[in-house]
Amino acid sequence: MRAEERHLTLATRSGRRGSLVVIDLSRARDERRLRDYQLRSRQVLESNKRALARLFQSGLIYTRSGARLARDLLQAHQSLLRVSDLLTRLGQMEAGERGATDAVYHEVQALLSRTAALSARSDVILARR
């Protein structure tokens, strides 16, 4: 029995010709989780890009606090690149590697949280000026 067949016992429904179609709910959950993280990653990346653009447009980058903020935003961008690599790796992992995927998702969550916090802090600083 293949690994896929062992996991395909969660739900069934009738097909067009009365045949049974097996739906793997755990795989569907994993795919949805991956899509949600990819969407969140894109949103945080766009927020980060907007903050960097506002930093340059306002001329704040030429101040000490602006340079510090730009450095933080660039570090956040590096974290987002790491998140992108991790999500690509998750998309290529097999469904049976549950423990490994949970560890990678935990790392992705931590990176996204830290990056979102940096972007939010930059928004507050830019809004004040």
Q: Which long-range contacts (CB under 8 A, 24 or more apart) does 105-109 make?
A: 105/33, 105/37, 108/37, 108/41, 108/83
Provide the pLDDT confidence category of residue 36 given band limits of 50, 70 and 90. very high
pTM of the predicted structure, to 2 decimals = 0.70
Provide the pLDDT confidence category of residue 11 given band limits of 50, 70 and 90. very low
Residues 59-94 have pLDDT tens digits of 888 989 889 999 999 999 999 999 999 999 888 877
Residue extents of the structural domains in the chain: 29-128
